[in-house]
Amino acid sequence: MAKQSPVPDELSKPFWDAANKEKLVIQNCKSCERLHHPPKTECDLCGSGSHMEWKEMSGRGTIYNYGVVFDCPIRTLQEDQPFNVAVVMLEEDPGIQMYSHMPGIEVDKVPVGAAVEIIFETTGSGQKVPEWKISENETRA
Amino acid sequence: MTTENAPSSMYRDREGLGIWEHRGKVAAVGIGHSPTARRWDGRPESTVGALALDALRKAIADSGVDPADIDGLVMDGTTTTGAHWTAGDPIPQDFIEYFNPSSDPLDGLAKLSAEWILKNMPELKNVTFTMYGPGCMSNSIVVAAQAIGDGLTKTCLVLKGWHNFAGRYYQGGENALDTVPGTKGISSIWGTPASYGTALQFAEYCRKYNKTHDMMAPAIVQWKKNGLVFPEGFWAQHRPEEITAEDYISARWIAKPANLFDNDIPIMVTGAYLFTTAERAQDMKQKPVYILNHVSSRGKARSLTPTLEEVEAETASTGRKIFEGAGITANDLSFENMYDGFALFHQFHLEGLGFRGIKFGEALDFYQTDISPQGPNPISPSGGNVGSGRTRFWMHTDCIQQIQGRAGERALTKVKPEIGVSGGPMPTGGNFTVWSSTPG
C-alpha cells in the first residue's frame, strides 16, 4: 500500500533510522523503565526529559483488534480502500501499540489475538516503515 | 481585555474532592440557538460570528435578563468542524464591512474571540469577566459554573459556535501530500479516520462481551427520532427523515464497525446559555435548572489509541466523580444525555455511570428495551449529535429543557425529569455536568 513517506524530525529520527536498518526501537525512560510510543519529550511517569533512550524491541507482538477503513483521509491510501488497520501490542509491553495494515491478510479477516512479527515496507522516498505479519505460532487466549 | 483559557484549578478532575462546594448555587436560566446550516453560504449574516450573536441574544431574551446585568462570557474560541479558511484566500469585503473587527481578520469568520463578541454586542456593556473553556460547550459550561460559584461573575453567557466550509474535511493539508513529518507519521500513515479509535474499542467490546454492531440499531433509530422533534437541530430543520433499523444496518462503512450513522454530520450552528447564581435565578423568566456538580475526565491513552480497558477504567472513574460531587447515586438520575459523537461510544459513558444499574457489557442489551423519552429508561432524549448534527451541545440543551418542562415532543413522560447528566466529548476525556430541578 502507498503509505506516505515519513520525514524524520528530531524526536522521531531514531525510530525511523532504526526502521531503515530493519530494527524496531521504542523510546524508554531509563529512570522509571517505561516505554513510550509515540515518542515524547518527557516521561509520562517521572516527567524527566533527560533520561530518554531508545531500546530495541524483539519485533514480536499480538493483534489486539482491528478496524476496516473505508473512508481514509490520506490521499495516497484512498485507492486501496477498504483496508485493514490492526493494533498490535508489543511482546515487551502490551501497553505499547503499533498500527498495521496486515499485508497479505484478506480485508476484515484479521485474526484477533494472533501472534505477529515485524516486517518492513519501503515507502516512495525510500524510508522504511514497520509492518507486521502473522507468526506461525501462538494466539491470544 | 485579554481572554485566557481557564486554569486547571477550575476543573474537578480527580476523585476524592467531595461534594462540589458550589452545589446547587449556580443555575441555567436561558437558552439560545442560531439556525443550522450544512455549510457556510458565503453571506456575512450567516458566518459563525453572526450565528453567535444570534444565539447569545436569544439566550438573553429567553432568560428575560437585561443585557446590562450580564457581567461574564465563557466560550470556546475554536469553531472549526475540521474545515479551515484556506491560507492566502482573501477575506470577503462584505464580511469586513459587516462587523466590527478584532485584530484577527478571521475572527467571526473561522474562529471567535471574546473580544470580537463584545465588540459586536454593544449591549453587553458591563462584561468584566471573560474566559475560554476550550474544546466544546461541555468545557465552557463547567468553567462558567465554577466561575459563578467562585464569584468571578454573577450572570454569565456561555457560548459555542461551529463553522463548516465547503469541501470534505480532513482531506487537505498534510493528508494530501506524499510525505508527512516523522513524529506525526508514527501514528498517521496507516490512514485511520477520526472514528477509527472508537471503532476499534467497539470491535473489542463486541468480542469481549459477545455483542454485535446490529444491536446498536434500536438506539440509532430512536436518537434519529428524537432529533426530528428537536426543532433547533439540523435534521428537523432541513431533512426530516426517519431511518429504519435496516437503513442503519445497511449503511456504508466509514471505519468498520463504525458506519455512516455512527458518525455525525458537521454543520454550522451556534448555541448559548445564560447562567447565574441560584439566588438571582429565583425571580427570572424561566425555571432555574440547578447545577449539582461538574467534573472533568483527563484520561490519557498509554500509546496510539485508547484501549477498551482504558476507556472502561476512565468512564468508571468519571461516574464516581459525578456522583461524589453531586451527592447523588446512579439511582437518582432521571435520564442521561452523555455524548454520542461517535455513537459507538455512548454505551461506554452509560456503563461508567451505571445508569439504571447496567454494568460493563450490558448497554447494548439495554438498547433493546424502551429507551425513548416516553419510556422508563430515557437514553439520550436529546438524540445527540446523531439526532441533530455535530454540536456537542444538544445534550446540555435537552437537560435544561427537560427539567424546565420545555422539551416539547421529547418531554419525558414516564419518568419525572428531576436530575439529568450530560457531557463529553470522549469517554477518556471530557467535561460533565449534573443538572437538577432543585438545588439539592
Mutation target among B207, B300, B303, B304 for the A interface, most CBs of A within 10 A: B303
More confident residue, B170 or B307: B307
Does the beta-carbon distance from B182 to A16 stay under 8 Å?
A: yes
Tens digits of residue pLDDT in B417-428: 999 999 999 999
Question: Is residue B156, in this structure, part of any structural domain at all?
Answer: yes
- Percent of chain B exceeding pLDDT 90 equals 95
Query: How would you class B377 by CB atoms within 10 Å of its CB: exposed for 0-12, middle for 13-18, buried for 19 or more?
Result: middle
Residue B118 structural domain: 8-166+266-281
Is B193 contained in some domain?
Answer: no
Q: Please tell me the predicted confidence (pLDDT) of residue A138.
A: 55
**Is residue B53, in this structure, part of any structural domain at all?**
yes
Which residues of chain B make contact with A96, given a CB cutoff of 8 A? Answer: 302-303
Chain A residues whose CB is inside 8 A of the B206 CB are none
Instruction: Name the minimum distance, in Å, from the CA of A78 to any CA of chain B.
Output: 9
The residue among A45, A54, A72 with the most chain B CBs within 10 A of its CB, best to mutate, is A72
Q: Is the peptide bond before B257 cis (omega within 30 degrees of 0)?
A: yes
Shortest Cα distance, chain A CAs vs residue B165, angstroms: 17
pLDDT at A139: 47
Query: Residue written as cell 478496524?
Result: A67
Cβ contact B193–A87 (<8 Å): no
Q: Which residues of B touch A5 (CB under 8 A)?
A: 178-180
Residues of chain A predicted below pLDDT 50:
139-141
Is the C-alpha dihedral spanning B98, B101, B104, B110 positive or negative? negative
pLDDT at position B169 is 74
- A83 backbone dihedrals φ, ψ, rounded to 5°: -145, 155
CATH number at residue B95: 3.40.47.10
Query: What is the pLDDT, as a whole number, of residue A141?
Result: 42
Asked if B259 and B248 touch (Cβ cutoff 8 Å), the reply is: yes
The DSSP secondary structure of B28-39, one letter per residue, reads EEEEEEPPPBSS
Q: Which residue of B has its CA nearest to A39?
A: B183
Whether residue A4 and residue B181 make contact (CB cut-off 8 A), yes or no, is no
Interface of A with B in 98-137 (CB under 8 A): 98-101, 108, 112, 123-125, 129
Which residues, including other chains, have CB under 8 Å from residue A22's CB and lie 6 or more apart?
A120, A128
| Cβ contacts from A onto B, under 8 A | 142
Burial class (CB in 10 A: 0-12, 13-18, 19+), B94: exposed
Answer whether B257 touches A (CB < 8 Å).
Answer: yes
- Chain B residues 330-389 with a CB less than 8 Å from chain A: none
Q: In terms of DSSP bridges, do strands B253-256 and B335-338 run parallel, antiparallel, or are they unpaired?
A: unpaired
Which grid coordinates are listed for B156? 454569565
Nearest CA to B182 among A72, A42, A127?
Answer: A127
Check if the beta carbon of residue A13 is closer than 8 Å to that of residue B182: yes
pLDDT digits (tens, 9 = 90+) for A70-100: 999 999 999 999 999 999 999 999 999 999 9
Instruction: For chain A, give percent helix, strand, coil, nearest 5.
Output: 10, 40, 50
CA atoms lying within 13 Å on the CB side of residue B381:
31
pLDDT digits (tens, 9 = 90+) for B203-227: 999 999 999 999 999 999 999 999 9
Average predicted confidence (pLDDT) for chain B: 97
Residue of A nearest to B175 (CA): A74
Q: Which residues of chain A make contact with B189, given a CB cutoff of 8 A?
A: 3-4, 6, 74, 123, 129
Name the helix (H) or strand (E) containing B148: helix B137-149
Residue B168 banded pLDDT, cuts 50, 70, 90:
confident
Closest CA–CA distance from residue A136 to any residue of chain B (Å): 23
Has residue B171 got a pLDDT over 90? Answer: no
Contact B355, B330 (CB under 8 A): yes
Q: Which of B171, B178, B254 has its CB closest to that of A76?
A: B178
- Measured between CA atoms, the residue of chain A closest to residue B186 is A38
| pLDDT at B113 exceeding the cut of 90 | yes
Written as nine digits, the cell of B250 is 445497511
Residue corresponding to grid cell 499485508: A103
The span from the CA of B229 to the CA of B398, in Å, is 11
Between the alpha carbon of residue A79 and those of residues A68, A70, B325, the distances in Å are 14, 10, 51
- ipTM here: 0.95
φ and ψ of B357, to 5 deg: 80, 5
pLDDT band at B84 (very low <50, low <70, confident <90, very high): confident
**How many angstroms separate the CA atoms of A30 and A40, rounded?**
14
How far is B158 from B271, CA to CA, in rounded Å? 8
Nearest CB neighbour to B178, from listed A44, A83, A124: A124
Number of structural domains chain B divides into: 1
Q: Quick check: B178 contacting A, CB < 8 Å? A: yes
All three cell numbers of B137 = 460547550
Cβ burial, residue B332 (10 Å; 0-12/13-18/19+): middle
Asked if B313 is an interface residue toward chain A (Cβ–Cβ < 8 A), one would say: no
Nearest to B207 among A39, A72, A112 (CB): A112
- Which helix H or strand E contains B207, and what residues bound it? helix B196-209
Domain membership of residue B114 (yes or no) is: yes
How far apart, in Å, do the first and last CA atoms of chain A sit?
31
- Written as one letter, the residue type at A8 is P
- B185, A7: Cβ pair inside 8 Å? yes
SS3 B436: strand
> Is the per-residue pLDDT at B120 higher than 70?
yes
Residue B122 maps to a domain: yes
| B259 beta partners | B253
pTM for the predicted model, two decimal places: 0.96
Q: Is position B127 within any domain? A: yes
Q: What is the per-residue pLDDT for A140?
A: 46
Decide if B12 contacts B434 (C-beta within 8 A): no
The b-or-e profile of A36-68 (16+ CB within 10 A means b, else e) is bbbbeeebeeeeeeeebebeebebbbbbbbbbb
In chain B, the residue whose alpha carbon lies closest to the alpha carbon of A74 is B175
For A134, the grid coordinates are: 502473522
Three-class DSSP labels, B329-370: CHHHCCEEEECCCCHHHHHHHHHHHCHHHCCCCCHHHHCCCC
Q: Is the pLDDT score of B2 beyond 60?
A: yes
As a whole number of angstroms, the distance between CA B257 and CA B360 comes to 19
Average pLDDT over residues B253-264: 97
Asked if B350 and B336 count as a contact pair (C-beta separation under 8 A), the reply is yes
pLDDT in tens, B380-415: 999 999 999 999 999 999 999 999 999 999 999 999
Instruction: Give contacts of A73 with chain B, Cβ < 8 Å.
Output: 170-171, 175, 191, 193-194
